[in-house]
Structure 1
């Protein structure tokens, strides 16, 4: 896609008019894409009365990165945009560097947005990034969700993630920057063929003579996004008549569940597993199928930090006790989903566990399986159970789930 000097500006800023955020964060690395986003969106946000902040993540992997972050800070100052440098120090040299850096970047930006009171964060992904993502996911054998690739807008953990450049090509943005006399930094990792994305970029150039080009792959992502929306609607309908959320567990009516198409069942189960276990990715198809089949036959199965077992017509998905987060202070978010508040005192917040359940003699009257109650939050004074809000011993304490389930459910 190409355009004149105003083309990128009009397309990049259109996202601000559909549902304008009150305060917007910009993730600016210093590369051409994000620098273009900064210069395109800063005047547009100001004209619309949208508060604007920018941040650069220094991954600490290259000595030049801090100087690049400072150059972004100077560019932001010239535009009147407050800027922060966020440092990542968590890389231990093991595993997938790009995936670890991406997760860390998202976590740092999420915390930064909360501290700055932002309701949206914009990322500099382009049309070329979208095509490369589709190609990489094709190589992994991804299904509809994977091939839908990146969305122009996504909500996660109460925050809107925007991609205003997703309809604009990388070359067009650099042409615009050059025409405006604006410089940018090139990350040398963009030329490192040790990274899959760089190999995908090179492969696209090689495949162009066969007709496998950016436009076609982007069109595939758009069609897959429409298919995903239709499949999500089916999952939502099934969820609304088959699922209950109880004490942080998911209870599934097996009769309604089994009558649904397999894709709908798998989509709903995967969503429940991620909601309970906090996984960054959907479980892989083969282990997901195996866990569901084993659980439906009455055997206890575990997957992604979740236990699965069917009993008396209900499939229960519960947090795996040994995967639960360790003790924290009350009023601190716990295990990714819980907020516990109450009278206070010298107590600690941790899972109820078998010992705690023994101190709740009336728990069977609640009609909940043991697996559902063991990982629920409890207040402890040493080895003495002070309170267990989900197990019939509230003692003035309250435990509530603060993570939204992605689909509508039956009332509890």
Structure 2
């Protein structure tokens, strides 16, 4: 299970770890921390060091475990992991990935599902710090994988020690440590760990990249060099993002109903790279998707926006993009969610909030006896119900197609509430106290972007 490590490497001490973590603040006086744990060497050592740190701070630590149900032995491994966590008196929560599994890009999609599960739980439980166990070796492998795909500055820039995703701070304190030191530390602690068989499966590109790194190392292309290159590109990425943020502040308006208006005149004056990144961020913001559109599709959209065409409509990344006919002199472009692509339905537990369509934080305080309440898109049928009781909603300033994609609260086929239209249905069997839906895009368009209230 374990390989021998030369004594040249020293173990990671709790004081060294605490010193690194002190740079990841600020933390609350009694911090609540979540950490993703698989049972592998990296995440297991991370949770053990975090437990020592949290206890000294009188805080609380929760280990989050995801069973992807991709291997027959995964449940047995989780049972072992739970016993280890109990031994160290660490609280844990287990999630299960159910449903149909992908046949391609398995590891990539599994990582995405895992991150979504972890960040959703943190958000719903008011925890803003999520620690992940990516290390220096992971950084180097990710760089080489993205290099093989022809990635640009964004893809090749380093994983940041601190980043924000869906309003949760992602902390990666192990980016300062290589795999060998991590394993040595566990050996010194006499703590076993779980080896994932997929880490030796050469059907996965990451494993093949890992296997050739020793050859690259002989040519001087080692972890430190690759990491330094990523950091250098990270600075270039930061400069681009700063310009994207400035362009967004000048040319973008975000509306609480989940749509965006782009002022084309100011947009066209920016360099192509900045325009493309802003378009990517707008589409991710409006669609709720966690990955950007393909570059060739962004370039095609950019060419249309830079052309002399005044009226056009397009669909990209589950968004509809149209010119606003009433604003032709101002060249305004509207981006809104494609209603047909919204499939999300979320059961609403009374008094608790949920993330719907990966875009809105929805909550309600509605009681109906023996009836399940859920959140779904309004749609044409729902809008008809609104107009039946509230005719003035048809003349509101919200564009018609945007209304169709609004979050709404339902009981069966009966519409109860549409917060953005100030609509709620009163009935004898309904106890209606409150409902709300706040647009919470996971992708920021810049701190100074105009939000229209």
RMSD of equivalent CA atoms: 3.1
Q: Is the 8 A contact 2:275 2:302 kept in 1?
A: no
User: For residues 217 and 117 of structure 1, do their structure 2 counterparts lie closer, same or farther at Cα, with a shift above 3 Å needed?
Assistant: same
Partner of 2:262 in structure 1? 252
Q: How is 1:243-282 mapped onto 2 (pairs within 5 angstroms)? A: 243-246=252-255, 247-282=257-292
Superimposed CA distance per residue, residues 56-108 of structure 1 (whole angstroms, 9 cap, x where no aligned partner): 32222333333322332222222221233333233535232112221222233
Contact 1:134 1:149 in 2 (8 A): yes
Does the CA contact (< 8 Å) of 1:152 and 1:164 recur in 2? Answer: yes
Q: Which one of 150, 155, 172 corresponds to residue 159 of structure 2?
A: 150
The two structures have a TM-score, normalised by structure 1, of: 0.87
Q: Which residue of 1 aligns with 2:406?
A: 376
2:243 equivalent in structure 1: 234
C-alpha distance in 2 between matches for 1:398 and 1:76: 38
Indicate the residue corresponding to 1:301 in structure 2: 314
How far residue 254 of structure 1 moved from its aligned partner, in angstroms, is 0.8
For residues 347 and 443 of structure 2, the distance between their equivalents in structure 1, rounded to whole angstroms, comes to 25
Q: Counterpart of 1:401? A: 439
Relative distance call for 1:388 and 1:205 in structure 2 (3 A) is same
Deviations for 1:221-269, whole angstroms, at most 9, x for unmatched residues? 1112211111111111111121111231100111111111111111111
Uncovered stretches (5+) of structure 1, i.e. residues with no partner: none
Is the CA contact 1:294–1:301 (under 8 Å) kept in the aligned structure 2? no
CA distance in 2, matches of 1:29, 1:382: 39
Distance of 1:161 and 1:377 partners within structure 2: 28
Choose which of 327, 331, 337 in structure 2 pairs with 1:319: 337
Pairwise mapping of residues 344-359 of structure 1 onto structure 2 (< 5 A)? Answer: 344=366, 350-354=376-380, 359=387
CA contact (8 A) 2:284 2:443 kept: no
- Could you tell me whether the CA contact under 8 Å between 2:419 and 2:436 is conserved in 1? yes
Q: Which of 127, 131, 145 lines up with 1:118 in the alignment?
A: 127
Q: 1:255 to 1:172 in 2, by over 3 A?
A: same
Distance 1:191 1:404, change over 3 A: closer
Query: Is 1:103–2:112 an aligned residue pair?
Result: yes
Name 1:183's counterpart in structure 2.
192
Change (3 A) 1:201 1:381: closer
Return the offset for 1:295: 5.3
Q: CA deviation at 1:196?
A: 0.8
Which of 36, 42, 58 is the matching residue for 1:33?
Answer: 42
Q: Residue 410 of structure 1 aligns with which residue?
A: 450
CA contact (8 A) 1:37 1:124 kept: yes
For residues 90 and 381 of structure 1, what CA distance do their matches in structure 2 show? 25
Other structure's SS at 1:281 match: coil
SS at match of 1:55: strand
Is this contact kept in 1: 2:11–2:182, CA < 8 A?
no
Say if 2:264 and 2:305, in contact at 8 Å, map to a contact too.
no
Shift of 1:342: 7.3
* Other structure's SS at 1:318 match: strand
- Matched residue of 1:165: which SS? helix
Change (3 A) 1:234 1:56: same
SS in 1 for 2:194: coil
Aligned length: 411
Question: Which residue number in structure 2 is paired with residue 138 of structure 1?
Answer: 147
| Offset of residue 389 of structure 1 | 5.2
Cα pair 1:294 1:300 within 8 Å, conserved: no
Give the Å deviation of 1:55.
2.9
Give the 3 Å change call, closer, same or farther, for CA 393–121 of structure 1 in structure 2.
closer
Contact 2:259 2:336 in 1 (8 A): yes
- Which deviates the most, 183-192 or 377-386? 377-386
Matched residue SS, 2:273: helix
Asked whether the 8 Å contact 2:37–2:44 carries over to 1, the reply is yes
Q: Distance in 2 between matches of 1:245 and 1:263?
A: 22
**Distance in 1, Cα, partners of 2:364 & 2:188:** 60
State the secondary structure of the residue aligned to 1:280. Answer: coil
Work out which of the residue numbers 82, 89, 92 in structure 1 matches 2:91: 82
Tell which deviates more after alignment, 291-300 or 180-189: 291-300
Query: 196, 216, 233: which is aligned to 1:207?
Result: 216
CA distance in 2 between partners of 1:87 and 1:324 (Å): 23
- Give secondary structure in 2 for the equivalent of 1:14: helix
1:13-92 to structure 2, matched below 5 A, reads 14-19=20-25, 20=27, 22-92=31-101
**Range moving further from structure 2, 5-14 or 72-81:** 5-14
